[in-house]
Structure 1
Amino acid sequence: MAEQGIDVEIIDLRTLYPLDTDTINATVQKFGRVVVADEAPMFGSITAEIAATASEVNFRHLKGPIVRVGAARAPLSANPQMSEAAIPSANDLVEAVKKVMSY
């Protein structure tokens, strides 16, 4: 993304509870744009909780909507190729960043 002039910061949360809201809030306030990604399906996932927390606390800092990236809403297969097709790819993340930057 640097080649396209886009500065990206990745937060790798080590725990989900307690959620590291200080780090999340600092990053949201620094950039004003958020992409939340996980290998799990988005419906009912931690990405929803992170997005909700980030938007509730930092609404005035956001320059656009939060974009979430997750697995397809389908059961994961035991077949490695099918599982790989269901989880988000690097390209999915790049497209999400481009989308969030368009606002």
Structure 2
Amino acid sequence: MWTCLADGRFLFEVGSRSEGTFLRFYDEIPEAEVYYTDDFKVYDWLPFNRHVKGARGKAKTNRNEGRHSILKDKLAGLRRKTKAYSRSALMLCGSIALLTVKNNWI
């Protein structure tokens, strides 16, 4: 799953951590002055001159990581080795959307 905070909105894409899933997600991310990320290889698709990565980028991702942590805590479907959820991607998207609305992350 991919998550992003942009212009006060919480965006997400359900899928693997592959380059293909990231590229689908990348099409939904609005243009930004600066993109902050860790050193994950697929982030090389972001504009080089506006991309801060590594330790400096990771330090700026706290709010997004915090929301991702809340999602993993509240939704069993994002925890590993569990039988407490539907394997349907549609159900997972719906659950994330409901939690997003509940927490006013819109």
TM class by shorter chain equals 0.3 to 0.5
- Normalising by structure 2, report the TM-score: 0.31
